[in-house]
Structure 1
Amino acid sequence: MAFFPYRLARRVCWPAATRGWRMFATTVASRPIIVHKLGLDILKDPWFNKGTAFPITERDRLDLRGLLPPIVLTAQQQIDRFMVDLNRSQVNARDGPSDNISLAKWRVLNRLHDRNGTMYYKVLIDYIEELAPIVYTPTVGLVCQNYSGLFRRPRGMYFSAADRGEMMSMVYNWPAEQVDMIVITDGSRILGLGDLGVQGIGIPIGKVDLYVAAAGIHPQRVLPIMIDVGTNNERLLKDPLYLGLQQRRLDGEEYLAVLDEFMEAVFTRWPTVIVQFEDFQSKWALKLLQRYRNTYRMFNDDVQGTVAIAGLLGAVRAQGRTMIDFPRQKIVVAGAGSAGLGVVNAARKTMAKMLGDNESAFESAGRQFWVVDAEGLITDERPGIDTETLPFARKAKEVGLLGLREGSSLIEVVKKVKPDVLLGLSAVGGLFSKEVLEALKDSTSVRPAIFPMSNPTKNAECTPEDAFSILGEQILFASGSPFKAVDLGNGKFGHCNQANAMYLFPGIGLGTLLSGARVISDGMLQAAAVCLAAYMKEEDVLDGIIYPPISRIRDITREVAAAVIREAVAEDLAEGREDMDPMELRRLDKAETLAYVKSHMWEPDYATLVYMD
């Protein structure tokens, strides 16, 4: 995150007479901000700089006359000029031309962020559908792979294994007196690219930008963080330009000691902060979630499978049934890493809740999943099966009735199970081969769903062209990375849904923040997924559109946040905030909850600046 002088702005925008976040959120743009700098120092400050939008009176007041071109542009004119520059056919980065237009655009956006934070978020919000793939998936994968060479100025914070014993004091180096949202990674499993070490910081940077753009969390209250515990990537260990610790990753108790110290430090300074864990390797992702989720306000949307659950529920609707029929879905899952097991676990809990939320329901729901990894179908006869995988292993005797066994191939499983959904979370590009897709033709569903969810694009288990050409126009297709619609001829197109995590995590974070929930429960995550699945109109769903357009993201986030708040209240987890106590929250109806959420979403508007010595 670029340095924004939060303490300075807060002194003016949140005086003692106001009450908490509501006043901050709704008055930042309208109340004048007192600054203690003039001239070029103002223009070099990304939070106060308005560029050519400074009115003449402010130019005189702040000693800016003559330091800018004489014309005064509106914010919209600035945006229009910027987009012309961004979309030129040959976009050049400052350090030379790029042969990758998306990466070049990321550089141009990054420079805008460095010089004018308000305009950066104006552009991102106005063009979110076009720019989300640049600031996040899939371009962020390329950014992370090259981050050591792209690094120009720091964003966020870096805590490393070398900082043990110092984190409690380090956390006070960040200038914001209040942080609402932290996104953290250790760089061990960046998308489907593996261990990228400290270069994984690109993921938290991209996600906090989406928290601002989609959820309206103030940019001075979000913080991307990298936990550098080393890397096992041989190329990075030998790269003299690599910016991280050039040592092997810590493991075991040493690794946990670093994370424990970090969590204690962060929540000591900011007790109400929410921490989102992102792209941790399978070995640790579930363990860390279980270790911290009942003590701290934290979640891991990949492991907890929220956006995938929304897609699965949407698929039920698109197949002509209601969401309550979800427990009848037969689902084959390719991939048993943290994401794969996380989705299965979340889907199983959702099914169980629909069936009565008891032990029998949970057992029944488990029989709807067949999990396949690199060694084939996972059963209870798998030698050396780990504790995280064991709950999802099928009983060998049970699958034997279908003619399957321990280690049966994906093709065999698809042929015998005839699933309603084929879900890919393997990070193996092309895993859904022609043979696998051909096997899905015998699905008992008239409209089978194919979800190649692995990121980035090259790791998708299949392309939409392959899926539609083999299985026809009636299938449902949803991927983790964006794909264009497929021309099926005769004026028909195969719709390519993107199961983008940004549909849900901003609303989960905002809803948790505004409810004051002390933890983030499974019920709150399920409420978010159900809300998204129900968002689309019936006619759209029947056309195969199960995720809404990203252009609606702020409206979607409002709805999701409101659903999370209502669930937190229902579970008696909501502790409220300074401007809304738990009893007041409980009395809000749906419309009032939506209005409450909307009133707390920050809008990027230029504030009037007043100099004071």
Structure 2
Amino acid sequence: MPCCSQMTRLLARRGGGRWAAASRIGGIREFAAFEGSPPAIVHKRGIDILHDPWFNKGTGFSMTERDRLDLRGLLPPNVMTSEQQIQRFMVDLERWKKSARDGPTDTTSLAMWRILNRLHDRNETMYYKVLIENIEDYAPIVYTPTVGLVCQKFSGLYRRPRGMYFSAEDRGEMMSMVYNWPAEQVDMIVVTDGSRILGLGDLGVHGIGIAIGKLDLYVAAAGINPQRVLPVMIDVGTNNEKLLHDPMYLGLQQHRLEGEEYLSVIDEFMDAVFTRWPQVIVQFEDFQTKWASKLLQRYRNTYRMFNDDVQGTAGVAIAGLLGAVRAQGRPMLDFTKQKIVVAGAGSAGIGVVSTASKTMERMLGNTESAFESARSQFWVVDASGLLTEERKNIDPDARPYAKSLKEVSRYGLQEGASLIEVVKKVRPDVLLGLSAVGGLFSTEVLECLKDSTSSRPAIFAMSNPTKNAECTPAQAFSVLGPNIIFASGSPFNDVNLGDGQVGHCNQGNNMYLFPGIGLGTLLSGARIISDGMLQAAAESLAGYMTEEDVQQGIIYPSISRIRDITKEIAAAVVTEAVKEDLAEGYRGMSARELQRMSKAEIASFVEKNMWKPIYPNLVFQKL
């Protein structure tokens, strides 16, 4: 009998690259599921296999497997196909889905989340098969908006560990702690400090739910191997007084670390994970504004990392803005002429403005005059009103977009002018909301858009969760009629406008982009994630829609096509990484081989490396 390493090499040779075993995880071997894969070797059997969600098949174990894994008598005798298993599982879920169709409530959404979570706990392959095949229905359950509810109630919902927790109490220990995670290779980490969860604020350790939900989408949309993902919570305390006095709260009950103390914790974490897994990609998620951009600039040129709130949100918004130009029947170059009022000057808002400005600059030739021209197209309004150079203590990231007195006086405005005043006087082509203030786009604000210089103004109400959306599509269409473009961050139904007309609600969710950015970075082996790679991702998404779609006001594709969308975006990211000479290759694929690939070959390479939820044929082997 060959030893473990010999068996692994044997399987690799026989599988021609499409093989099952890669590295040991807690006494078993991880598998990458592809059609026709050789058997996966496991080092446990009997009841231990049934309690392992990575390898448990439940009633799907064949009789041969039951014999060799000591499972006879431990399962009902009828062997079921995965399709039959899903049918049985869906009975309970469908009951709650029907209730949700009548009008989703917190109760129905949490009930569906609990059912899916229990499946995740016992059978990961089946969980992801259900999620992939029903992504449009269940993405809102495993991620936004339901994940917001889950985070708020996390201490009461917590049942079993998923992911890792690094806290302020672990300073000096993180380098050894990271080896407690059983996977020898991790491809993707999503990390949060819980300081700004969606639009819900500081939820402390409860924020781990965001990282878990994002990684579910990485697996479902991008085909990242679920055994190679790691959700992480960095607990540096909380300033949420309710949690500080809640005896059931699971995190540190102390106020948040600040300044150099805070940075030292994040630095130690980054050093630890990249020491153990040098090729890992780290996505920062829901860090409060004052740290989001600072940490991005601190690490982005050293580590393979990005911030989804800053860069992902910006990319999705850019794709939508470019689509809106197309929907207005104008050439793409006219994006440089769009007047855009932005409500919200946090990390997401300024991230969008910065990225959109850079896109305009590139279109205009990247000159000094191009920068000034692009900057002049944005009017940023925060809680204190219009942002101008007169503002005291202005955030450094927002300063380039503060209006000069000359600019505002030309429109009859001044520092601190209200959103209504700005929309009325500027008459923008686009009203973009990233404020996290539900209902901010009131009837009065929307009425002002009737005087827009565009014949088809665009409203982007991008804040999450649903209750924080600046307005609903029903409100926008009822005030402005059918000739608008509407997008939101959370899912809303299309609006029936009568006479066969439909007001399309486009969900500009970050899930369109971040899975493709992560997958493309992974498969290219890029040293860092560059602005060019992010821009390529956004342009790929913008170009995905047909001309017929955009003329109907549809600027984002259906979530049901997310795997195909992600494949296209990942291929664009790989291509850009190669073009910028950042690619270093992926496993057996060298950078030189990637350089020689055609566009079609890169797309095929991406698709072949997307994990699929297929039960492997399990073979037991003693350690």
TM-score for both structures, normalised by structure 1: 0.95
CA-atom RMSD in angstroms: 2.0
Is 2:614 aligned against 1:605?
Answer: yes
Q: Does 1:197 find its partner at 2:204?
A: yes
Structure 2: gaps spanning 5 or more residues:
21-31, 100-104
1:580-595 matched pairs, under 5 angstroms? 580-595=589-604
CA shift, 1:38, in A, is 2.5
- The answer (yes or no) to whether the contact 2:18–2:37 under 8 Å persists in 1 is no
Matching residue of 2:387: 378
Look up the match of 1:398: 407
Q: 1:20 to 1:414 in 2, by over 3 A?
A: farther
Q: Which moved more, 1:131-140 or 1:79-88?
A: 79-88
Aligned to 1:244: 251
- Give the 3-state SS of the residue equivalent to 1:372 in structure 2: strand
Is residue 525–residue 564 contact of structure 1 (8 Å, CA) maintained in 2? yes
Q: CA 1:397–1:90 in 2, change beyond 3 Å: closer, same or farther?
A: closer
Q: Distance in 2 between matches of 1:296 and 1:445?
A: 42
Deviations 1:288-326 (A, max 9, x none): 111110111111122121111111111111111232221
Q: Aligned residue for 2:474?
A: 465
Asked whether the 8 Å contact 1:479–1:496 carries over to 2, the reply is: yes
Query: 1:99 Cα shift?
Result: 6.4
- Conserved? CA contact 1:140–1:202, under 8 Å: yes
Cα deviation digits, residues 89-113 of structure 1 (max 9, x gap):
4999xxxxx9611111111111101
Match of 1:277 in 2: 284
Matches within 5 A, 1:29-40: 30-40=37-47
Q: Which secondary structure does the structure 1 equivalent of 2:191 belong to? A: strand
User: Which position in structure 2 is the counterpart of 1:348?
Assistant: 357
* Alignment equivalent of 1:210, drawn from 217, 226, 238: 217
- Gap regions ≥5 residues in structure 1: 1-7, 93-97
Is the CA contact (8 Å cut-off) linking 1:379 and 1:394 kept in structure 2?
A: yes
Q: Please report how far the alpha carbon of residue 359 of structure 1 lies from its aligned counterpart in structure 2 after TM superposition.
A: 2.8
Match of 2:543 among 534, 537, 559: 534
Q: Separation in 1 of the partners of 2:114 and 2:152?
A: 14
Give the drift of 1:88.
1.3
Query: Which residue of 195, 203, 223 corresponds with 1:188?
Result: 195
Instruction: Say which SS state the counterpart of residue 284 (structure 1) adopts.
Output: helix
Distance 2:538 2:356 in 1: 10
Partner of 1:100, secondary structure, is helix
Deviation at 1:578, TM superposition (A): 3.0
Question: What is the letter of the counterpart of residue 588 of structure 1?
Answer: M
8 Å contact kept, 1:13–1:27: no
Report if the CA contact (8 A) 1:293-1:520 is conserved. yes
Residue 95 of structure 1 corresponds to which residue in structure 2?
none
| Structure 2 Cα separation of the partners of residues 458 and 296 of structure 1 | 35
- Name the structure 2 match of 1:4: none
Q: What is aligned with 2:102?
A: none
1:479 to 480, 484, 488: 488
- Opposite residue 214 of structure 1, the aligned amino acid is A
1:339 aligns with 2:340: no
1:577 offset after TM fit, Å?
2.3
Find the aligned partners of 2:17 and 2:155 in 1 and give their Cα distance.
36
Aligned to 2:563: 554
Report sequence identity in percent. Answer: 74
Q: Quick check: 2:428–2:454 contact (8 Å CA) kept in 1? A: yes
Amino acid in the other structure paired with 1:207? K
Indicate the residue corresponding to 2:172 in structure 1: 165
Compute the TM-score of the two structures, normalised by the length of structure 2: 0.94
Could you tell me which residue of structure 1 aligns to residue 72 of structure 2? 65
Counterpart in the other structure of 1:175: 182
SS at match of 1:547: coil
SS of 1:266 mapped into structure 2:
helix
Aligned residues: 601
Q: Which residue number in structure 1 is paired with residue 23 of structure 2?
A: none
2:72 is the counterpart of 1:85: no
CA distance in structure 2 between the partners assigned to 1:273 and 1:514 by the alignment:
11
- Cα distance, 1:65–1:16 mapped onto 2, change above 3 Å: closer
3-state SS, counterpart of residue 477 of structure 1: strand
Alignment of structure 1 residues 473-512 onto 2, 5 Å: 473-512=482-521
Cα distance, 1:34 vs structure 2: 2.3
CA distance 1:19–1:157, change in 2 (3 Å): farther
SS at match of 1:310: helix
Aligned to 1:3: none
Cα deviation, 1:500-542, whole Å, max 9, x if unaligned, reads 1110000000001111111111111111001001101110110
* Alpha-carbon offset, residue 9 of structure 1: 12
Aligned position for 2:374: 365
CA distance in 2: counterparts of 1:369 and 1:141, whole angstroms:
30
- Give the SS at the match of 1:87: helix
Q: CA deviation at 1:357?
A: 2.0
Q: Which among 319, 323, 329 is matched to residue 338 of structure 2?
A: 329
| 1:257 alignment counterpart | 264
